[in-house]
């Protein structure tokens, strides 16, 4: 083969190979994208039912309960406007606390309970995952609209 | 006083970096030897001042100087000394200082070991590294001064407990040595583009530097993965987290670069491709720095975000990369690709491997930044799942592994496909047999296992074929041992590093295929059976650490009725930050590992307990260590020293000629 | 030639994306709290635990509400800007001392100067949460009706004071609409 033809073969093989890989990769991409929803969005039925997504918000104070088997926990995730009950079986991360930000990954069941297969928590005084912060803030605006004259009294 | 000295030393270092950039590069352009001669002494001067600055910050930590904001935020008087030292690079500001220190270590190393190079090249290389230093000095001084003072605080806010670990003490220095090490290859590439000379000699100079950076990066990534495995308490060793990806992308391109440099060195071809890879490897290191520190991405271990810092580093990144790519677009056509080769040849296989590695890097980049693009276009938040990364990585890497077995056997320029096929038949059969038989020995058929085993054994058997072929082809009646001793170190390094990949694949395959995980509630006396092991929970006791208190569990493991080991996992509460921390207890054997972590107390004496059985998991990191060893062996090859001496003589001869 | 420009073009596209990504930081995302009444609260004052403070005391005034803490790194950076702003006497600045120890907070103000008319003491951070604080410092512009008109996340820079906060405060004081270019400067 002449160098020119050879280069052509190379380029063609490269394009085809990368093309196939890219198609596969992008196709799978669609199925592996994990969307993020806030409790308000879940309440508005924006979140899918059978497909996994991430739910973010704050763990409601006093909402954590252990189910009889000792390993399953139920807690409420809130964005200060709407709430979603989450069930999770397993060991919670170290930084999981009531009143702090949380991201849970899982699916909604038929009854509207979020069955999590992974719970992520990261929080320190200066940092909260931006999507959680955003979800909380949007939820707060919604709550503010419902109840403008609400007063918070600090105990 | 000491912090001010440190701050002042940084400012002087910045000034020296400016001199180190301007004079040598201008001198090389204008042919002024006296300007170029400033490169080495100025670089050494910059190193001295950066080292002084680093020492001052370390002093502030060791001396509990809580008038320094950075020390307040990352240290505490109760902190053990080791972590006071590693706390110096435990946050954004100090880790930048470490970055710059590493850059200076590399620059000084280049200045020392480059006596054999012509003056203009050395001047340009050191100048380019000086330019990189300017950017980081400015970044530190303008946005992230580690010596910022505040009124004396009674005590520090402590180092994040997750970072109080020996693995994490050495992980950042290793990783940064790798990241920054690619600046040498980058500087060599820019110097070559400026000088318009890319040849085999250039590649030979760049090779050991690139390999050294790659060795550090490999070790750094492996250490990080190991740390995440035992410290985060989830038993996972790789999460495709943006921060991990940020270090993995330069590794992929660095791997491609090492192989491409080998071709340019031995065959004089791949020239502009090698240059592009050298530019990309360092650009990706800078991009990683940006991703980790700007807050554009959400990650479990990103530094706190700050858009101002983000814009600064993005601007610097853009300047460095755009200038170098413009230079590339302008000069690369002149550099050319180099000699020709047939479709089936070692060059061709290496090129395909290179393209695959680059494509893999592209896919990692896509998955990492796609959430940003998606948020921009639609406003919705999303993340890309681990399964996607796992899948494309396997699809793209499998052909690379196959080629790894074939490539080293094929001749340069033009190979003989039928001869190679004949040679490799036994290796192929051996790999297939191992892949089909071993799953049953190990305890069950899972699809991932035979595929992984085939790839791993293919590497081993084809490497052995390679060695045998090579020894057979040697003439003379030397004994086998003597023949083996005659093989150059870079050859052994290559075989070793490839086998390291195989060992890594074995580890991954067995962990993916056969690991077992159970989360259970255990009260005193409760037992759990996993594989041949029986785990008995014997309750917890309170223990006191240097700066934490902990509930320490005792879990007695017995095997075949015989007591095997007692594991003592802890749940720690650090005194200052009061956050709980899981400290897993791990018993490592050659073939498997037992991993136990405490969850939460469940009332009474019961706890939730997480138990893992991880077969061959240590092979994952051993494989990486062997890859790194292979790299070290290869770069110690005498051909680089011989080449240096030869070049020295040529340079000396040329100088003599010029003086006549 | 085009071939050799390809890496450059790809990189520039990437850089644009990253730049946009930076802009998307939650810092610039407009807060849903804006143009909503500021959440009501009553908190003890930092200097005087007996006295309390709440936003209803401020009806009829335009004021700035700045969330700060002695442990906060960026507050240190922002502080001189606030001290300067308070010297101009154009707008009163009230502080929210967020999740801090009383002693630490007081010492901090003593060392660096106190730009605040007073600071409310939010030990457990509840008020901060109501205000949607997710990083300290944050600064709110609140108008005469007690409505939040603007929010700055992160340290306030001198240029932001000049181009955004001061013009906005002046307009609000005179019950005039905030000029277009000010809104732009604040974005």
A-chain residues within 8 Å CB-CB of C31?
Answer: 137
Burial of residue B27 (CB within 10 Å: 0-12, 13-18, 19+) is buried
Q: Does residue A130 sit in the same domain as residue A57?
A: yes
Q: Does residue B231 sit in the same domain as residue B307?
A: yes
In a domain, C142, yes or no: yes
- Average pLDDT score, chain B: 88
8 Å CB contact of C40 and A138: no
CATH number, domain of C75, equals 3.40.30.10
What does the alpha-carbon distance between residue B472 and residue B33 come to, in Å, rounded to a whole number?
52
Is residue B506 within 8 Å of residue B452, measured between CB atoms? yes
A122 touches chain C (CB under 8 A): no
Is the model more confident about A50 or about B624? Answer: B624
In a domain, A97, yes or no: yes
Domain that holds residue C49: 32-154
Mean pLDDT of B161-182: 88
C31 touches chain A (CB under 8 A): yes
A-chain residues within 8 Å CB-CB of B348?
Answer: 10
User: Which chain B residue has its CA at the smallest distance from A15's CA?
Assistant: B355
- Other C-beta atoms closer than 10 Å to the C-beta of B321 total 23
Q: Which chains touch C (3 or more CB pairs under 8 A)?
A: A, B
Is the model more confident about B28 or about C134? Answer: B28
pLDDT by position in tens, chain C (length 187)? 677 888 888 888 888 888 777 665 433 334 556 777 888 888 899 988 888 888 888 888 899 999 988 777 667 778 888 988 998 888 999 999 987 888 888 888 888 889 999 999 988 777 877 787 756 788 899 998 888 888 887 778 887 888 889 999 999 988 888 887 887 777 6
SS3 content of chain B, % helix, strand, coil (to 5): 65, 10, 20
Kindly report the nearest CA distance between residue B91 and chain A, in angstroms: 14
The pair of three-digit structure tokens given for residue A122, joined into one six-digit string? 């990261």
**For the whole prediction, is pTM greater than 0.80?**
yes
Top-confidence range, B470-484, B529-543, B645-659: B529-543
Q: How confident is the model at residue B301 (pLDDT cuts 50, 70, 90)?
A: very low
A-chain residues within 8 Å CB-CB of C127?
Answer: 152, 154
Kindly report the nearest CA distance between residue C156 and chain B, in angstroms: 12
Mutation for B interface: A4, A21, A72, most B CBs within 10 A:
A21
The total number of structural domains that make up chain C: 1
In a domain, B553, yes or no: yes
Name the C residues in 121-160 with CB < 8 Å from any A CB: 122, 124, 126-127, 130, 132, 134-136
Q: Does residue A83 sit in the same domain as residue A113?
A: yes
The total number of structural domains that make up chain A: 2
Q: Does residue A18 sit in the same domain as residue A54?
A: no
Q: Does residue A42 sit in the same domain as residue A99?
A: yes
B-chain residues within 8 Å CB-CB of A57?
Answer: none
Q: Which chains touch A (3 or more CB pairs under 8 A)?
A: B, C
Q: Does residue B399 sit in the same domain as residue B423?
A: no
Q: Does residue A105 sit in the same domain as residue A53?
A: yes
Residue B539: C-alpha distances to residues B99, B550, B566, B603 (Å): 45, 13, 12, 12
In a domain, C4, yes or no: no
The total number of structural domains that make up chain B: 4
A-chain residues within 8 Å CB-CB of B521?
Answer: 69-71
Domain that holds residue B61: 1-164
Domain that holds residue A17: 1-33
Assess whether pLDDT exceeds 90 at residue B555.
Answer: yes
In a domain, C24, yes or no: no
Assess whether pLDDT exceeds 70 at residue B655.
Answer: no
What percent of chain B clears pLDDT 90, i.e. is strictly above it? Answer: 50
B566 touches chain A (CB under 8 A): no
Is the model more confident about C1 or about B249? Answer: B249
What does the alpha-carbon distance between residue A95 and residue A43 come to, in Å, rounded to a whole number?
27
How confident is the model over B183-194, as pLDDT tens digits? 999 999 999 999
Mean pLDDT of B266-284: 92
In a domain, A82, yes or no: yes
A-chain residues within 8 Å CB-CB of C75?
Answer: none
B-chain residues within 8 Å CB-CB of A70?
Answer: 521, 602, 606, 608
Q: Does residue A7 sit in the same domain as residue A46?
A: no
The pLDDT, as a whole number, for residue B659 is: 47
Residue C60: C-alpha distances to residues B384, C142, C145, C147 (Å): 49, 10, 6, 11
Q: Does residue A54 sit in the same domain as residue A116?
A: yes
User: Which chain A residue has its CA at the smallest distance from C40's CA?
Assistant: A151
How confident is the model over B364-407, as pLDDT tens digits? 998 888 877 777 777 677 777 788 888 888 888 999 999 999 98
With tokens 């507050």, the residue in question is C75
What does the alpha-carbon distance between residue A73 and residue A88 come to, in Å, rounded to a whole number?
5
Which of B106, B141, B164 is the last residue before a domain boundary? B164
Find the DSSP H helices in chain A.
3-32, 39-43, 130-146
Mean pLDDT of B426-435: 94
The pLDDT, as a whole number, for residue B641 is: 73
**Low-confidence stretches of chain A (pLDDT beneath 50):** 123-129, 141, 143-155
SS3 content of chain C, % helix, strand, coil (to 5): 45, 20, 35
Mean pLDDT of B445-467: 92
8 Å CB contact of C99 and A125: yes
Mean pLDDT of B33-44: 94
Which of B129, B164, B199 is the last residue before a domain boundary? B164
Burial of residue B29 (CB within 10 Å: 0-12, 13-18, 19+) is middle
Q: How big is the B-C interface in CB pairs under 8 Å?
A: 88
8 Å CB contact of B151 and C22: no
Q: Does residue A28 sit in the same domain as residue A40?
A: no
DSSP annotation string for B113-125: TTTTS-HHHHHHH
The pLDDT, as a whole number, for residue B536 is: 94
The pair of three-digit structure tokens given for residue B214, joined into one six-digit string? 């790659």
Q: Does residue A27 sit in the same domain as residue A41?
A: no
Q: How confident is the model at residue B631 (pLDDT cuts 50, 70, 90)?
A: very high
Per-residue DSSP letter, C147: B
Q: Does residue A85 sit in the same domain as residue A19?
A: no
Kindly report the nearest CA distance between residue A148 and chain C, in angstroms: 7
């Amino acid at each position: 083969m002449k160098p020119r033809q050879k280069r052509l073969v190379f380029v063609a093989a490269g394009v085809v190979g990368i093309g196939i890989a890219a198609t596969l990769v992008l196709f799978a991409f669609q199925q592996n994208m994990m969307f993020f929803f806030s409790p308000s969005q879940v309440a508005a039925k924006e979140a899918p039912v059978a497909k996994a997504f991430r739910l973010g918000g704050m763990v409601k104070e006093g909402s954590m309960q252990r189910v009889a088997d000792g390993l399953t926990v139920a807690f409420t995730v809130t964005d200060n406007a709407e709430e979603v009950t989450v069930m999770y079986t397993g060991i919670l991360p170290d930084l999981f606390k009531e009143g702090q930000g949380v991201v849970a990954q899982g699916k909604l069941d038929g009854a509207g309970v979020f069955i999590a297969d992974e719970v992520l928590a990261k929080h320190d005084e200066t940092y909260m995952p931006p999507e959680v912060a955003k979800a909380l803030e949007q939820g707060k605006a919604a709550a503010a609209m419902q109840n403008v004259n609400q007063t918070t009294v600090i105990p | 006083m000491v912090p001010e000295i440190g701050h002042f030393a940084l400012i002087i270092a910045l000034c020296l970096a400016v001199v180190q950039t301007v004079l040598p590069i201008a001198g090389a352009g204008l042919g002024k030897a006296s300007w170029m001669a400033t490169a080495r002494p100025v670089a050494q001067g910059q190193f001295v001042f950066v080292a002084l600055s680093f020492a001052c910050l370390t002093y502030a930590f060791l001396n509990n100087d809580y008038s320094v904001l950075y020390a307040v935020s990352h240290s505490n008087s109760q902190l053990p000394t080791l972590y006071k030292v590693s706390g110096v690079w435990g946050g954004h500001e100090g880790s930048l200082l470490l970055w710059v220190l590493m850059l200076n270590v590399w620059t000084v190393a280049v200045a020392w070991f480059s006596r054999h190079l012509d003056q203009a090249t050395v001047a340009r290389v050191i100048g380019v590294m000086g330019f990189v230093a300017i950017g980081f000095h400015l970044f530190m001084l303008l946005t992230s001064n580690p010596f910022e003072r505040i009124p004396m605080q009674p005590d520090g806010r402590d180092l994040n407990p997750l970072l109080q670990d020996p693995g994490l003490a050495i992980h950042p220095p290793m990783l940064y040595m790798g990241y920054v090490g690619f600046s040498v290859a980058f500087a060599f590439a820019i110097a070559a583009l400026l000088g318009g000379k890319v040849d085999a000699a250039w590649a030979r100079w760049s090779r050991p530097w690139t390999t050294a950076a790659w060795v550090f990066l490999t070790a750094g990534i492996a250490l990080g993965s190991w740390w995440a495995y035992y410290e985060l308490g989830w038993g996972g060793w790789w999460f495709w987290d943006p921060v991990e990806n940020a270090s993995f992308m330069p590794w992929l391109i660095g791997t491609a670069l090492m192989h491409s440099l080998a071709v340019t060195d031995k065959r004089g071809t791949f020239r502009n491709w090698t240059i592009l890879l050298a530019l990309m490897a360092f650009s990706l290191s800078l991009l990683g720095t940006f991703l980790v520190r700007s807050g554009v991405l959400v990650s479990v271990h990103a530094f706190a975000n700050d858009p101002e810092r983000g814009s600064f580093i993005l601007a610097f990144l853009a300047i460095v990369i755009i200038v170098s790519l413009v230079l590339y677009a302008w000069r690369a056509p002149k550099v050319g690709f180099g000699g020709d080769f047939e479709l089936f040849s070692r060059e061709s296989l290496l090129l395909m491997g290179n393209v695959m590695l680059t494509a893999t890097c592209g896919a990692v980049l896509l998955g990492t930044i796609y959430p940003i693009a998606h948020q921009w276009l639609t406003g919705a938040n999303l993340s890309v799942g681990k399964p996607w990364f796992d899948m494309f990585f396997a699809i793209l890497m499998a052909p690379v592994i196959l080629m790894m077995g074939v490539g080293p056997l094929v001749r340069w320029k033009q190979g003989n496909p039928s001869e190679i096929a004949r040679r490799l038949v036994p290796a192929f059969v051996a790999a297939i047999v191992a892949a089909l038989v071993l799953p049953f020995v190990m305890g069950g058929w899972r699809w991932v296992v035979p595929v992984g085993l085939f790839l791993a054994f293919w590497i081993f058997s084809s490497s052995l074929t390679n060695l045998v072929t090579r020894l057979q082809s040697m003439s003379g009646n030397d004994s086998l041992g003597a023949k083996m001793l005659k093989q150059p170190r870079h050859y052994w390094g290559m075989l070793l590093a490839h086998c390291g990949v195989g060992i890594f694949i074995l580890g991954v395959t067995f962990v993916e295929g056969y690991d077992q995980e159970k989360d259970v509630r255990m009260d005193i006396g409760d037992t759990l059976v996993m594989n041949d092991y029986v785990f008995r929970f014997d309750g917890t006791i309170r223990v006191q650490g240097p700066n934490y208190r902990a509930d320490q569990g005792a879990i007695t493991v017995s095997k075949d009725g015989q007591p095997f080991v007692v594991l003592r996992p802890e749940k720690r509460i650090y005194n200052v930050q009061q956050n709980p921390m899981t400290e897993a207890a791990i018993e490592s054997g050659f073939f498997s590992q037992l991993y136990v972590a405490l969850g939460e107390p469940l009332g009474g004496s019961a706890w939730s307990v997480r138990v893992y059985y991880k077969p061959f998991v240590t092979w994952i990191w051993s494989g990486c260590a062997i890859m790194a060893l292979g790299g070290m062996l290869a770069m110690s090859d005498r051909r680089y020293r011989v080449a240096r001496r030869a070049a020295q003589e040529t340079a000396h001869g040329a100088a003599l000629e010029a003086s006549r | 030639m085009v071939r050799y420009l390809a890496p450059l073009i790809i990189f520039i596209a990437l850089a644009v994306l990253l730049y946009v990504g930076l802009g998307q930081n939650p810092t610039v995302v407009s807060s849903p709290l804006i143009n909503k009444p500021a959440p009501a609260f009553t908190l003890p004052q930092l200097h005087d635990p007996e006295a309390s403070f709440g936003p209803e005391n401020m009806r009829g005034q335009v004021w700035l509400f700045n969330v700060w803490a002695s442990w906060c790194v960026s507050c240190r950076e922002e502080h001189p800007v606030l001290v300067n702003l308070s010297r101009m006497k154009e707008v009163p600045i009230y502080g929210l001392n967020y999740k801090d120890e009383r002693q630490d907070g007081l010492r901090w103000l003593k060392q660096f100067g106190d730009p605040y008319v007073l600071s409310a003491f939010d030990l457990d951070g509840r008020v901060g949460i109501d205000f949607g604080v997710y990083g300290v410092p944050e600064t709110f512009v609140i108008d005469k009706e007690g409505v939040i008109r603007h929010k700055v996340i992160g340290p306030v820079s001198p240029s932001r004071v000049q181009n955004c906060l001061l013009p906005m405060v002046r307009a609000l004081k005179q019950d005039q609409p905030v000029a277009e270019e000010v809104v732009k400067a604040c974005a």
